[in-house]
Structure 1
Amino acid sequence: MRFMGWYLKIVAGGAAIGAAMELFMIHTGFYEKVTMLESEKRAWESSPEAQAMREALNPWHKNEEHERR
């Protein structure tokens, strides 16, 4: 309880810094950009080209298929 004032100052400073970072990200459109990039990434990953590339780059895919049977 001796250093309670210091702890409260640290908590208040951390909360202020976190709030400032969130406001900056909202103001600059960070979340909209990330959402768009993630949706493009998921759309590409589900495409036939991505599936073919994933199978070509995995040399053990035949062994995995054999083990599943």
Structure 2
Amino acid sequence: MRLLGWYLKIAGGGVAIGAAMELFMVHTGFYEKVTVLESEKRAWESSPEAQAMREALNPWRRQDDEQERR
């Protein structure tokens, strides 16, 4: 029980640092930038070029799928 004050100070400091980081990210538009980057990444991953790259990098993919079905 005598260390309870110390633990509360550490927890309070952690909460304050986390809140400051969140405020900074909201203020600088971090979440909007990440949303745009994620949508661009998903668009690229679903493009025919990305699918062709995936197939070229793993030519045994279909064989693995067939073996799993058996």
TM-score where L is the length of structure 1: 0.89
2:37 corresponds in structure 1 to: 37
**TM-aligned CA deviation for residue 40 of structure 1:** 0.4
Q: Residues 40-59 of structure 1: matches in 2 within 5 Å? A: 40-59=40-59
Once the two structures are superposed, residues 15-59 of structure 1 have per-residue CA deviations (whole angstroms, 9 ceiling, x without a partner) of: 000000000001111110001000000011011111111000113
Residue 27 (str. 1) matches residue 45 (str. 2):
no
**TM-aligned CA deviation for residue 63 of structure 1:** 2.0
CA distance in 2, matches of 1:65, 1:27: 46
Task: Determine what percentage of the aligned residue pairs are the same residue.
Answer: 80
Structure 1's consecutive aligned runs of 4 or more residues displaced over 6 angstroms after TM superposition are: none
Change in 2 beyond 3 A, CA 1:12/1:65: closer
Q: Which runs of 5+ in 1 are unaligned?
A: none
TM-score where L is the length of structure 2: 0.88
**TM-aligned CA deviation for residue 62 of structure 1:** 4.0
**Corresponding pairs, count:** 69
CA distance in 1, matches of 2:4, 2:65: 60
